[in-house]
């Protein structure tokens, strides 16, 4: 990111978050990955900087920042550890959804603890049999007097088990998107349990588990938004979530590029520093160019979402697809330019490659991003 493109406030945000990432994330990122440690204490330190309630209004304990501010912050944070930054992006998606769609009572009850990271949040949409076709979920919520009773299984839930607040999409009515509602579930609610920790290629510093709902009985005030509005709420949350994941991809890849430049400056082959080889300079130039192009699209999409542009969902999908593809490719190139050292755990490059690979899948696969963009084109034609 270049300071000339940022406001003074954004420059300050980037500097503060970059310092935090360098001090509190980067030195420990490889160890957390290797030991599969979820550093909840560090997430609470991040909350002290306002990073656990980025988009939540200030009166509810949040930072009240824009989406443009947010992508600057998450890119800077991911330079320290993409896995932790990405989890915080998901946590912030949950907080925003409660702030945007909750009643005053719900906001007062749930948001202060989310914004302080005393309580962590998880987003529960995907199911074992419903991933890209999210409108086909089968988890059910049945009205029983002044309660709802939830039954079903959610898959690939980031933070599951450690999180306290679960934003669960469940079917309350007809098949398809219009029959889905959103619910706030507490970890202590009877009937809620979790599958074993998934063993994954990357993102090892955050837990991923199934969320199992077996007759979870919720008071009526746990419904978020109106009955049948859950799918719309879920998709609105994902517009912002896609920006966050895109920013995390850029942050991880930018860090890999910077480490690669330093590595090539230190290494010699055939009597000259590797950094002086024009072929390698050109590789670095292409990596930097692709990151800048992705960043420009991401910032444009964030600005569109901030101003309520009708094209924002398409632009968010474009930015997510392009930035996550670019981030992975740049990180993979960085590994190649490190030679054998890139394959060693201690250098941290292979971890970045593994972490960024899943960004092309979650928050809507990049194939689904193309579907969203194409629908916008066809609808506009």
For residues 217 and 47, the answer to whether their CB atoms sit within 8 Å is no
- In the annotation, is 58 catalytic? no
Give 262-279 as a 3 state SS string: HHHHHCEECCEEHHHCHH
The two tokens of residue 80 are 């320290």
| Catalytic entry in 127, 329, 350, 363 | 363
Residue 111: closest CA among 150, 65, 55, 72? 55
Residue 347: closest CA among 33, 15, 14, 20? 33
Q: Is 252 helix (H, G, I), strand (E, B) or coil?
A: helix
- Taking phi first (over 0 means left), then psi (-120 to 50 degrees means alpha), and beta for anything else, what does residue 367 get? alpha
DSSP code string of 126-171: -BTTBSS-GGG---EEEEETTEEEEEEEEEEEETTTT-SEEEEEEE
Catalytic residue IDs: 363
């Amino acid at each position: 990111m270049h300071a000339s493109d940022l406001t003074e406030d954004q420059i300050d945000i980037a500097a503060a978050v970059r310092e935090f990432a360098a001090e509190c994330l980067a030195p420990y990122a490889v160890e957390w990955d290797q030991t599969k440690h979820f550093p909840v204490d560090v997430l609470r330190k991040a909350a002290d900087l306002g990073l656990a309630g980025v988009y939540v209004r200030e009166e509810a304990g949040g930072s009240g920042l824009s989406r443009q501010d947010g992508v600057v912050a998450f890119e800077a944070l991911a330079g320290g550890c993409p896995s932790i930054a990405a989890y915080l992006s998901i946590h912030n998606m949950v907080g925003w959804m409660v702030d945007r769609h909750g009643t005053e009572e719900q906001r007062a009850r749930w948001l202060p603890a989310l914004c302080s990271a005393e309580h962590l949040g998880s987003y529960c949409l995907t199911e074992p049999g419903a991933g890209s076709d999210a409108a086909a979920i089968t988890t059910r919520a049945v009205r029983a007097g002044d309660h709802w009773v939830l039954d079903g299984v959610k898959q690939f839930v980031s933070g599951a088990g450690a999180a306290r607040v679960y934003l669960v999409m469940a079917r309350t009515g007809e098949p398809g998107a219009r029959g889905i509602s959103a619910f706030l579930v507490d970890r202590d609610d009877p009937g809620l349990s979790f599958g074993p920790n998934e063993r994954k290629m990357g993102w090892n510093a955050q837990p991923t588990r199934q969320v199992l709902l077996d007759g979870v009985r919720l008071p009526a005030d746990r419904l978020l938004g109106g009955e049948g509005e859950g799918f719309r709420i879920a998709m609105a949350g994902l517009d912002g979530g896609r920006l966050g994941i895109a920013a995390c991809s850029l942050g991880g890849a930018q860090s890999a590029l910077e480490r690669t430049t330093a590595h090539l400056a230190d290494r010699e082959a055939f009597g000259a520093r590797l950094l002086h080889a024009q072929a390698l300079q050109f590789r670095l130039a292409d990596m930097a160019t692709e990151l800048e192009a992705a960043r420009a699209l991401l910032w444009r999409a964030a600005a569109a979402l901030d101003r309520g542009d009708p094209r924002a969902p398409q632009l968010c999908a474009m930015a997510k697809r392009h930035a996550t593809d670019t981030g992975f490719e740049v990180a993979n190139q960085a590994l190649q330019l490190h030679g054998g050292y890139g394959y060693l755990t201690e250098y941290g490059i292979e971890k970045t490659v593994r972490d960024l690979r899943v960004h092309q899948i979650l928050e809507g696969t990049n194939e689904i991003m193309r579907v969203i963009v194409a629908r916008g084109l066809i609808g506009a034609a």
